[in-house]
């Protein structure tokens, strides 16, 4: 006779469901300035403590504290704030366009604007980012024309992707922004391969791969870490832990009692865990990782701790699975508000300037939208030609596609 | 040259001609590949051009997509075609669609080599012919040589091609032609005219079939090992079969097929892969569509059975010359 009690299956749950309050004590938050800054040639095995702590620069009063406080120019910080605001305003406007049925689908990055903005500023021209669908702030920081982005969202006659892609699946090679795929995690491995290519050619460019907390459960996540470690690829492996994968809490992706940064240490990769809503920390950590990669010292994994403040997409209703006011209780706050406080306390920003900037950006986005819509919206006006549907499947159109195009009568 | 030597020669030529060509895969570097196809290449070109990879098909193909996006021309190896499945997502969702979804902003000029096919007592996971998994994917080119001369010329073409190419190598043909008579000694490529391979650069064009054996009675559409099995069946039945070696499975050379079937009026499709939804179904449909009024008999298909590839029952599974010959006779005897 067995003395054992019956086994039971453990299925992780978030503490906060609709009508409750989330207990964010699971987050492992360090005080601003408390985490040491190692040399860029640190051994990966020595980053274990940083990977379970949280690098933060800005305290609650907007002061920049500790060894990670970056040497960033006033202009860079002001540009950063403006870019985050622009991303947020653009997102809000595009959600309205989706509700008005001008575009079929949209995904905001509300609350995550610091990540792409600050990392883009820490990278150099020629470096290549392999983003997910939630790093539009990279495009904002690289100042890609809004009209071009909106034309992609509208799938109109000026869509650079000729109407072939769902909205937000941008591709902007000249801005170091790799073509977005609907298949999660695939680009994380490709980023490593791109970095390997740069090393093979003796180049000085580096790659930046992006993945969400939920997608770390995909096999390509582990694969990317293995290849990056084995070949010491010059790549920054960014894990955006926004706590949610659609309706699924990050604990169900494997985040319970462990950090995603720790996965990097286990794979032999120097790893940092960073406050993703702290613009200064994001910039400083990205600079550190970029310098490490560019010095041929190998890859860095960074877990960015943030919160997906908005719905997963325009097809999602988060009130069905999490508290409605969750973001307002998130301990790391709002990246825009925090940088604003910092700049204001240093006399580099004012309420007047903030309001004026907001107004100017609203006008800029509205003007770009108007211009883009003059080239058609989905199903209205001139769309990309049906004949172009058969192009670019191969470099040269094979005979069977010529025949199919003729069958369509175009 | 054997097919192994011919493939190695193609990679040697391309490594020398194009600095952007890199070769990697499992056991491909120092050891030179479990089939010796990359033997000596790392010593000649260095570890940054030819190197070993972790056992991760998704990683091998996924990093190659990233390298191609950078501008390299990777030639990667999956040790057995039976093991490409973990890389399916990177092949189907990424490599095949990179050009289309980015409107040419990014491209995946890459070649994925995979030893395929049975007839070697390879059992379930060393014998498969998964070409239909690839021909169904828009954006891919799928190629399979049947002899050393074509193997080298087609591989050079594949590496130079700007589309992603799945390059399937029938490992049963690596050392010599094989006609399905497993009880007879294997003849090496050195005694076959198609084993004569130029040392330097040459190409065999993609999308171009070869009429392997001209004939008047019926048309055989096939590729890989089955080219030689079909040749044996023609000799043994006395039926004057015209054997078309597709070489490029998809996109394919439709004109050569249609011209032949219109001439003979009869058609037999032969492949090792399982029958249902195999590539033969596409070939049958194309012939039916383009040659309907010239057909004098139903189109026959000789394929592997719809079972996993067995071990002990190797020769009951493998479509040998007897089964192929019987189909030839049926096609000739039909009204």
What is the C-alpha to C-alpha distance for residues B195 and B149, in angstroms, rounded to an integer? Answer: 6
Residues B160 and B248 in one domain: no
> Checking DSSP bridges between strand A235-241 and strand B141-143, what pairing results, if any?
unpaired
Q: Is there a domain that residue B204 lies in? A: no
3-state secondary structure of B224: coil
B334 pLDDT above the threshold of 90? no
ipTM for this prediction:
0.97
Domain membership of residue A337 (yes or no) is yes
Please, which residues have CB within 8 angstroms of residue A372's CB and are 6 or more apart in sequence?
A: A146, A147, A150, A151, A153, A154, A156, A158
Name the residue of chain B whose CA is nearest to A399's CA: B251
Q: Does any CB of chain B come closer than 8 Å to the CB of residue A227?
A: yes
Q: What are phi and psi of A161, to 5 degrees?
A: -100, 15
Q: What is the pLDDT of residue A1?
A: 61
Q: Which of A84, A45, A49, A46 is nearest to A309 (CA)?
A: A84
Residue A2: pLDDT above 80?
A: no
Q: Residue B276 sits in which domain range?
A: 210-333
Whether residue B3 is predicted with pLDDT greater than 70 in this model: the reply is yes
The string of pLDDT tens digits covering residues A381-407 is 778 999 999 999 999 999 999 999 999
CA distance A183 to A187: 9
Distance (Å, rounded) from C-alpha A129 to C-alpha A139?
Answer: 10
For the residues B157-169, what does the mean pLDDT come to? 98
Of A178, A189, A398, the CB nearest to B58: A189
The answer to whether A161 faces chain B, any CB pair under 8 Å, is yes
Question: Considering the domain boundaries, does residue A17 fall inside one?
Answer: no
Determine the Cα–Cα distance for residues B237 and B148; give it in Å rounded to an integer: 27
Q: Is A141 contained in some domain?
A: yes
Whether residue A127 lies within 8 A of chain B, CB to CB, comes out as: no
| Cα(B30)–Cα(A199) distance, integer angstroms | 20
* B62–A165 CB contact, under 8 Å: no
> What is the distance, to the nearest Å, from the Cα of residue B287 to the centroid of all Cα atoms in its chain?
21
Q: Which residues of B are catalytic?
A: 126
Mean residue pLDDT of chain A comes to: 97
Nearest to A392 among B54, B69, B103 (CB): B103
Q: A186 and B93: CB-CB below 8 Å?
A: yes
**Chain A partners of B49 at a C-beta cutoff of 8 Å?**
200
SS (HEC) of B113-130:
EEEECCCCCCHHHCCCCC
Contact A393/B100, CB-based, under 8 Å?
Answer: yes
Q: Hey, which residues does B142 pair with through a beta bridge?
A: B166, B250
Q: Is the peptide bond before B251 cis (omega within 30 degrees of 0)?
A: yes
Question: Hey, is the C-beta of A198 within 8 angstroms of any chain B C-beta?
Answer: yes
- Same domain? B190 vs B289: no
* Cβ-contact A322, A244 below 8 angstroms: yes
Q: How many residues does chain B have?
A: 335
Q: Mind listing the pLDDT tens digit for each residue in A214-269? A: 999 999 999 999 999 999 999 999 999 999 999 999 999 999 999 999 999 999 99
User: CA of A383, closest CA in chain B: separation in Å?
Assistant: 15
CATH number of the domain enclosing B223 = 3.40.50.920
Task: Assess whether B25 and B85 both reside in one domain.
Answer: yes
Look at residues B270, B274, B256, B261 and name the one whose alpha carbon lies nearest to residue B322.
B270
Q: Which of B90, B101, B138 sits opposite A164 (nearest CB)?
A: B101
Sign of CA dihedral A170, A173, A176, A180: positive
Please tell me the distance from the alpha carbon of residue A182 to that of residue B93, in angstroms, as a whole number. Answer: 9
What digits encode the pLDDT tens for the residues B219-274? 999 999 999 999 999 999 999 999 999 999 999 999 999 999 999 999 999 999 99
Q: Count CB atoms within 10 A of the CB of residue A201.
A: 17
The residue in chain B having the minimum alpha-carbon distance to the alpha carbon of residue A188 is B62
* Residue A84: predicted pLDDT: 98
**A306-354 pLDDT, tens per residue?**
999 999 999 999 999 999 999 999 999 999 999 999 999 999 999 999 9
Distance from CA of A169 to the nearest CA of B (A): 9
Asked if B127 and B261 sit in the same domain, the reply is no
Whether residue B185 lies within 8 A of chain A, CB to CB, comes out as: no
Q: Give tens-digit pLDDT for B88-119.
A: 999 999 999 999 999 999 999 999 999 999 99
Say whether both B232 and B153 belong to one domain.
no
Which residues on A lie below 8 Å from B88 (Cβ)?
A: none
On whether both B182 and B295 belong to a single domain, the answer is: no
In a domain, A232, yes or no: yes
Sign of CA dihedral A226, A230, A231, A235: positive
Percentage of residues in chain B with pLDDT exceeding 70? 100
Residue B201 lies in a domain: no
A196 → chain B, closest CA residue: B67
Write out pLDDT tens, residues A221-233.
999 999 999 999 9
A234: CATH: 3.40.50.970
Q: Which helix (H) or strand (E) holds B220?
A: strand B218-222
Query: A60 burial class (0-12, 13-18, 19+ CB within 10 angstroms)?
Result: exposed
Alpha helices in A248-377 (DSSP H): 261-266, 279-294, 326-329, 335-345, 351-373
- The answer on pLDDT for A379 being more than 90 is no
Paired with A270 in beta bridges are: A300
How far is B335 from B77, CA to CA, in rounded Å? 47
- In contact, A27 and A305? CB cutoff 8 Å: yes
Assign residue A33 a region (left: φ > 0; alpha: ψ between -120 and 50; beta: otherwise): left
Per-residue pLDDT tens for A189-208? 999 999 999 999 999 999 99
Our count of domains for chain B comes to 2
pTM, to two decimals: 0.97
For the segment B190-205, what is each residue's pLDDT rounded down to a tens digit?
A: 999 999 999 999 999 9
Q: Do B106 and A171 touch (CB under 8 A)?
A: yes
- Of B313, B181, B154, nearest to B236 by C-alpha is B181
pLDDT at A352: 98
CATH number of the domain that B9 lies in?
Answer: 3.40.50.970
CB A186 within 8 A of CB B92: no
Average pLDDT of the residues of chain B:
98
Q: Domain check: are B219 and B182 in the same one?
A: no
Give yes or no: residues B245 and B158 share one domain: no
Q: Is the dihedral of CA A106, A112, A118, A124 positive or negative?
A: negative
Q: Give residues with Cβ within 8 angstroms of B116, minimum separation 6.
A: B80, B81, B128, B129, B130, B131, B144, B168, B169, B170, B171, B224
Tell me the two tokens of residue A201.
């050619």
pLDDT of amino acid A380: 83
Q: Are residues B101 and B133 in the same domain?
A: yes
Confirm if B23 and A187 have CB atoms less than 8 A apart: no
Nearest to B63 among A161, A179, A189 (CB): A189
B99 to A392: CB separation less than 8 angstroms, yes or no: yes
User: Do B220 and B158 belong together in one domain?
Assistant: no
Average pLDDT over residues B295-307: 98
State yes or no: pLDDT of B335 exceeds 90. no
DSSP class of B217: S
> Which of the 8 DSSP states describes residue A64?
B
State the average pLDDT over residues B211-215: 98
Flag whether B261 is in a domain. Answer: yes
Domain assignment of residue B200, yes or no: no
Which residue bears the tokens 């992706």? Answer: A253
In terms of domains, do B167 and B272 share one?
Answer: no
Structural domain boundaries, residue A64? 30-315+332-379
Q: Does A191 lie at the interface with B, CB-CB under 8 angstroms? A: yes
Confidence of residue A108 (pLDDT cuts 50, 70, 90): very high
Identify all chain B residues contacting A220, using CB atoms and an 8 Å cutoff: 58, 62, 89-90
High-pLDDT (> 70) share of chain A, % = 100
Q: Is residue B203 part of a domain?
A: no
As for how many domains chain A has, the answer is: 1
Q: Using N-to-C axis directions, what is the helix angle for A113-122 and A74-99, rounded to 10°? A: 140
- B277 occurs within a structural domain: yes
DSSP notation for B287-313: HHHHHGGG-SSPPEEEEE-SSPPPSTT
Task: Looking at the structure, tell me whether residues B162 and B214 fall in a common domain.
Answer: no
Tell me if B156 is assigned to some domain.
Answer: yes
What would the pLDDT profile of B7-44 be if each residue is shown by its tens digit? 999 999 999 999 999 999 999 999 999 999 999 999 99
Establish if A131 touches chain B: CB-CB under 8 angstroms: no
């Amino acid at each position: 006779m067995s003395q054992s009690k019956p086994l039971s299956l453990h299925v992780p749950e978030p503490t906060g469901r609709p009508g409750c309050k989330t207990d964010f004590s699971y987050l492992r938050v360090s005080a601003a300035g408390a985490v040491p800054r190692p040399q860029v040639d640190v051994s990966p095995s020595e980053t274990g403590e940083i990977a379970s702590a949280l690098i933060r620069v800005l305290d609650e009063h907007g002061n920049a504290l500790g060894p990670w406080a970056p040497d960033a120019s006033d202009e860079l910080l002001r540009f950063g704030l403006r870019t985050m605001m622009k991303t947020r305003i653009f997102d809000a406007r595009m959600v309205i366009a989706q509700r008005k049925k001008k575009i079929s689908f949209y995904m905001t990055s509300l609350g995550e604007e610091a990540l792409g903005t600050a990392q883009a500023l820490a990278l150099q021209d020629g470096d290549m980012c392999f983003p997910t669908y939630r790093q539009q702030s990279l495009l904002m920081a690289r100042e890609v024309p809004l009209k071009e982005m909106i034309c992609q969202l509208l799938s109109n006659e000026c869509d650079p992707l000729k109407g072939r892609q769902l909205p937000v699946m941008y591709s902007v090679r000249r801005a170091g922004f790799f073509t977005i795929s609907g298949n999660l995690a695939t680009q994380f491995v490709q980023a490593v391969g791109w970095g390997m290519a740069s090393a093979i050619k003796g180049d000085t460019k580096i790659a930046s791969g992006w993945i969400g907390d939920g997608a770390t459960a995909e096999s390509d996540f582990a694969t990317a870490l293995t290849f990056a470690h084995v070949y010491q690829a010059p790549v920054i492996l960014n894990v955006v832990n926004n706590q949610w994968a659609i309706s699924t809490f990050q604990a169900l992706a494997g985040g319970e009692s462990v950090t995603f940064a720790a996965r990097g240490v286990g794979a032999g990769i120097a790893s940092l865990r960073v406050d993703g809503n702290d613009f200064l920390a994001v910039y400083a950590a990205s600079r550190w990782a970029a310098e490490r990669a560019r010095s041929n010292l190998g890859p860095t994994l960074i877990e960015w701790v943030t919160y997906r403040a908005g719905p997963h997409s325009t097809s999602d209703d988060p009130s069905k699975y999490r508290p409605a006011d969750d973001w307002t209780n998130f301990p790391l706050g709002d990246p825009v508000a925090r940088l604003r406080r910092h700049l204001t306390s240093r006399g580099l920003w004012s309420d007047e300037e903030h309001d004026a900037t907001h107004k100017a950006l609203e006008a800029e986005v509205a003007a770009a939208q108007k211009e883009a819509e003059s080239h058609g919206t989905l199903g209205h006006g001139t769309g990309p030609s049906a004949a172009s549907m058969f192009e670019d499947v191969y470099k040269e159109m094979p005979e069977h596609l010529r025949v199919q195009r003729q069958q369509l009568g175009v | 040259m054997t097919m192994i030597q011919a493939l190695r020669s193609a990679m040697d030529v391309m490594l020398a001609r194009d600095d952007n060509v890199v070769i990697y895969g499992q056991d491909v570097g120092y050891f030179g590949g479990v089939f010796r196809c990359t033997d000596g290449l790392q010593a000649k070109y260095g570890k940054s051009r030819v190197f070993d990879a972790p056992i991760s098909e998704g990683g091998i193909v996924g990093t190659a997509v990233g390298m191609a996006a950078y501008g390299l021309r990777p030639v990667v190896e999956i040790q057995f075609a039976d093991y490409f499945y973990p890389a399916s997502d990177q092949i189907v969702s990424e490599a095949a669609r990179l050009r289309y979804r980015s409107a040419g902003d990014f491209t995946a000029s890459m070649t994925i080599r995979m030893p395929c096919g049975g007839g070697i007592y390879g059992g379930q996971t060393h014998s498969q012919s998964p070409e239909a998994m690839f021909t169904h994917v828009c954006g891919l080119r799928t190629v399979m040589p049947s002899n050393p001369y074509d193997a080298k010329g087609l591989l050079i073409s594949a590496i130079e091609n700007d589309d992603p190419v799945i390059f399937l190598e029938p490992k049963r043909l690596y050392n010599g032609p094989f006609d399905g008579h497993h009880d007879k000694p294997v003849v090496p490529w050195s005694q076959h005219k198609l084993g004569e391979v130029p040392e330097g650069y040459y190409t065999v064009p993609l999308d171009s079939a070869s009429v392997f054996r001209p004939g008047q009675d019926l048309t055989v559409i096939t590729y890989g090992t089955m080219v030689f099995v079909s040749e044996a069946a023609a000799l043994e039945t006395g039926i004057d079969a015209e054997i078309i070696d597709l070489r490029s499975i998809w996109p394919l050379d439709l004109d050569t097929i249609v011209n032949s079937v219109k001439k003979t009026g009869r058609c037999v499709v032969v492949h090792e892969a399982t029958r249902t939804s195999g590539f033969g179904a596409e070939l049958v449909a194309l012939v039916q569509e383009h040659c309907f009024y010239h057909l004098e008999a139903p189109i026959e298909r000789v394929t592997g059975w719809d079972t996993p590839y067995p071990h002990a029952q190797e020769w009951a599974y493998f479509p040998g010359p007897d089964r192929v010959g019987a189909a030839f006779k049926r096609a000739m005897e039909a009204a």
